[in-house]
Amino acid sequence: MASYEIHECRFCGNRYEEDINDKSHKLLSKYIHYLGICDVGCWNKITQEHKNSIMFRAAILGDDRKRNKIPIVERHKLK
């Protein structure tokens, strides 16, 4: 039995499935689900500074931004 949740991407708003193992997955393409990002395409459109901030915050506070549905703001998106 699969254990997953449905979330909305913090970058684009698309819905995606997060597996329970994504939180500790070694592949970035899976781990970003835990961070609230649907795929590598959206991840690559975020500034490096904000990516670092997202990962640091998740290590300390967990996935609160995803759970609270806080979107990635324009200033953190690559032009």
The pLDDT assigned to 79 comes to: 87
User: pLDDT digit string (tens) for 24-73?
Assistant: 999 999 999 999 999 999 999 999 999 999 999 999 999 999 999 999 99
The pLDDT assigned to 34 comes to: 97
CA distances to 38, 49, 52, 59, 75 from 15, rounded to whole Å, are: 7, 25, 23, 23, 23
Query: What's this model's pTM, rounded to 2 decimal places?
Result: 0.93
The pLDDT assigned to 2 comes to: 65
Our separate counts of H helices and E strands in the chain read: 4, 2
| Domain segments of the chain as ranges | 4-76
How many CB atoms within 10 Å of residue 40?
12
Query: Is the pLDDT confidence value at 3 over 70?
Result: yes
